[in-house]
Structure formats: structure tokens, C-alpha cells
Amino acid sequence: MSELLVDTNPLPAGISGRLRDQLTFLIEVDRLKTVLRQSPLAAAPRRENDAEHSWHLAMAVVVLAEHADEPVDVGRTVQLVLVHDLVEIYAGDTPLYDLAARESQQEREEAAAARLFALLPADQSQRMRELWDEFEARRTPEARFAKAMDRLLPVLHNWMARGGTWLAFDASADHVREHTSSINEASATLGTARDHVIAEAQRQGWTAG
């Protein structure tokens, strides 16, 4: 995959410089819509893609930010979730419960970030990189809440699917609790809701024990 999407039909020559780079990037990130996650949709019998997921996370930030234990800047938290999965355009999705794939994840995503963000003008490339780094490092309240949303929505999707990836990846209730602990770390209220969902899912047999 050495070609950019826009290379198949280059923009008119009248569009140049900074704007040409920005439009090239915006066309290239269309690929995020083709990166499939393991999560099943609640609204249709198919898997979710990263662009849909990123939009849903942004909505979750807007609706649930009041439950963050530490106050968060909603606008900045939304930007974190909008860009947090961009590297998967080249690195692919790494399922939460696929431990083998998770070993090589960092290296693959580093290479993808370097390649993708370089399409933008230098200042914006750096800004995207900073947003991605902030999300990954989880050192700010915004990054911690963004990560909590990234763990909460799959819990809701698996609940609606009566098992979903919990059963597909043979994850026990304890394993699910361990991998979604960032919810409880960012919000006691949402953490309690998570606890209720996992406990009831376990009772129903929607986790692997």
C-alpha cells in the first residue's frame, strides 16, 4: 500500500501548498472507514469500523463528560478521540483480547503515525502527533477520560450483543474487568455502571466464566 488514495486521481494543479497537503490528508484518512474492529454494532449485524467508533466516542465524551472525576475540557477530549485511531489506517486494528497482536502493536503504530501525519503541514503534523501521544500516555484528565470512553463503548456493544468479543476472545469477567479498569480510574460513576454490566453479563453467561 505505497500509493496514497489521491494519487489515483490527483487534485487540480490550481490547488497547491498547504491546502493541497491538508486535502491530501483528509482524502487519505477516508481509509479509517475501512478498518474493521471486532466489536459488533448494536444497530446492525456487522462489525464496527474505526471511523464510526471514533464518532461514537466523541458523542460519548459530549454526553458523559459530567461524570469525569476530574473536570475535563470537552473540546480537547473530543479531539483526542477523533484522532486516537488514525494510526490504524496503516497499522490495522489490534483487538483488546488478542494478546499476540498486542505485542507488536507499538512498533506498527509508530511507523504508521510517522507516515500518516507527515502528509500534513509540519505544524499540524506535530499537533496530530501530540494529540495521539497525549491519548496514549494518559497523563492528563482529558486523556484518561478519552481512554475510559474507548473502553466503555465496547462494554455497551458487547452487552447489546449478549457477549460479542467477550465470548469471541474467551474473556472471563475478571479479564474484562482488568481490561476496562480505565473506566473506573476516570469515573467512579461510570465504573459502577461498568461493574453492574459485567456482573450481570457473567450471570447470563455472556462472558467466558
Q: Which residues bind its own copies (CB under 8 A)?
A: 5-6, 8-9, 11-12, 14-15, 19, 22-23, 25-27, 29-34, 41-44, 48-49, 51-52, 54-56, 58-60, 62-64, 67, 73-76, 78-79, 82-83, 120, 124, 153, 156-157, 159-160, 162, 189-190, 192-193, 196-197, 199-200
Which amino acid would we find at residue 141?
Answer: P
Comparison of 48 and 109: residue with beta carbon closer to its own copies: 48
Distance of closest approach, residue 69 Cβ to its own copies, in angstroms: 14
Comparison of 8 and 100: residue with beta carbon closer to its own copies: 8
**Residues 48-76, buried b or exposed e (16+ Cβ, 10 A)?**
bbbbebbebbbebbeebbeebbeebebeb
How far CA 139 is from CA of 149, 150, 207, in Å, comes to 16, 16, 31
Distance of closest approach, residue 165 Cβ to its own copies, in angstroms: 16
Comparison of 17 and 100: residue with beta carbon closer to its own copies: 17
**Owner of C-alpha cell 473506573:** 184
C-beta separation of 74 from 65 below 8 A: yes
Distance of closest approach, residue 68 Cβ to its own copies, in angstroms: 13
Distance of closest approach, residue 187 Cβ to its own copies, in angstroms: 10
C-beta separation of 19 from 11 below 8 A: no
Distance of closest approach, residue 155 Cβ to its own copies, in angstroms: 10
Distance of closest approach, residue 129 Cβ to its own copies, in angstroms: 14
Comparison of 131 and 171: residue with beta carbon closer to its own copies: 131
Q: 59: helix, coil or strand?
A: helix
Comparison of 11 and 99: residue with beta carbon closer to its own copies: 11
Comparison of 97 and 159: residue with beta carbon closer to its own copies: 159
How many CA atoms are closer than 13 Å to the CA of 177, on its beta-carbon side? Answer: 14
Sign of torsion over alpha carbons 29, 30, 36, 39: positive
